[in-house]
Amino acid sequence: MAKRKKPAPFDYARKWPLRLTFLLTTLFLYAPIVVLVIFSFNNSRRGGNVIWRGFTTDYYVKAWNNAGLVEAFVNSLAIAVISTVFAVFLGAITAVTLWRFRFPFKPAYEGLVALPIVIPEICLGVAIAVLFSTLGLYVPPGAPWPFNLTNIIIAHITFSFPFAAMVIRTRLNTFNREMEEAAKDLGASEYRVFRDILLPHMKPGLIAGALLAFTLSLDDFVITFFTSGPDTVTFPVKVYSMVRFSVTPEINAASTVLILITLVVTAIAMRFQTFEDPR
């Protein structure tokens, strides 16, 4: 009988439909980003212009000098950082509670926590906006930065903490309960078990959750749109309003910087992230 040959690791690449799929997905994923970056250096007055007119960094300078754009950019970063901190904190508490304790209606509560992930963003945006206006929860105009962003930050925490909670919860599922008992057996208090054993185990989940919350916040448009005012413009909202007039390479330039920042943040986070196997 003829032996069946096992496929070598990269054998799939020899099958042309798979190759084609691979090629096309990569192309559609990265081509727009590559084009965006390339044309941020295009010496043309219109960003939508697909004709290469020579290399320039003028538009980076221009973007830098566009006070409105820079302000929106800084706002976005501030919102992302602050809401990430809260989202991860709340997410971690929620995840540990769900993982650790049994209480009545727990499945219902678990569902409720996950709900903002599936609810259409537009509904959540409207709901949050209505909530703020009904309760009269508005930061008075002229509040000092970054407190003027409070409404947006609260909205961002609302939609990003369930994601953080899910990621952290998943990580907790790989925790070996005997580890906790071993620490107790050696004399550790509840608090020491949490600090010395559980928290280090959660770390990759915390980092992944933070990354998720950060990027979700940074590029959110829909919910932000409903909760931002004229003084509190974020980068996506600003870009949207600029694009309505004309697409200039300035936007490409600012977007490139944003991509760079996310890449750097992700790289740093990955460095901190060590996935030990639970034993």
Partner 1 sequence: MPDPIISIQGVSKYFGDFMAVEDITIDIEPGEIFALLGPSGCGKSTLLRMIAGFEDPSEGRVLIGGEDMTGVPANKRPVNMVFQSYAVFPHMTVSQNVAYGLKMDGLPKAEIKEKVAEALEQVHLSQFAARLPDQLSGGQRQRVALARALAKRPRVLLLDEPLSALDAKLRDAMRLELVKLQESVGVSFVMVTHDQSEALAMADRVAVLKDGKLMQLADPMTLYQKPANRFVADFIGRVNFFDVTQSTKGSAEIIAGPLGALTLPAPVTGTGEHVLALRPEYIRLSPAKEGGLTGTLGDVGFQGDSSIVEVTLEGGKQVQALAGPEDTTMLLSLGTGAAVALSIDLSQARLLPA
Which span sits near partner 1 by CB under 8 A: 93-101, 154-162, 163-171, 193-201? 193-201
Task: Choose, by CB under 8 A, the member of 126, 179, 257, 261 that binds partner 1.
Answer: 179
191 binds partner 1 (CB under 8 A): no
Contact indicator for 160, 223 with CB cutoff of 8 Å: no
Nearer to partner 1 by C-beta: 21 or 176?
A: 176
Nearer to partner 1 by C-beta: 11 or 181?
A: 181
11 binds partner 1 (CB under 8 A): no
**Six token digits for residue 38:** 């390339």
Which span sits near partner 1 by CB under 8 A: 93-101, 108-116, 149-157, 179-187? 179-187
181 binds partner 1 (CB under 8 A): yes
Q: How far apart are the first and last CA of the chain?
A: 43
Which span sits near partner 1 by CB under 8 A: 148-156, 171-179, 227-235, 255-263? 171-179
271 binds partner 1 (CB under 8 A): no
178 binds partner 1 (CB under 8 A): yes
Nearer to partner 1 by C-beta: 62 or 203?
A: 203
Task: Choose, by CB under 8 A, the member of 110, 201, 219, 221 that binds partner 1.
Answer: 201
141 binds partner 1 (CB under 8 A): no
Residue list 51-90, contact with partner 1 (CB under 8 A): none
196 binds partner 1 (CB under 8 A): yes
> Which residues make up the interface to partner 1 (CB under 8 A)?
176, 178-179, 181-189, 192, 196-197, 200-201, 276-279
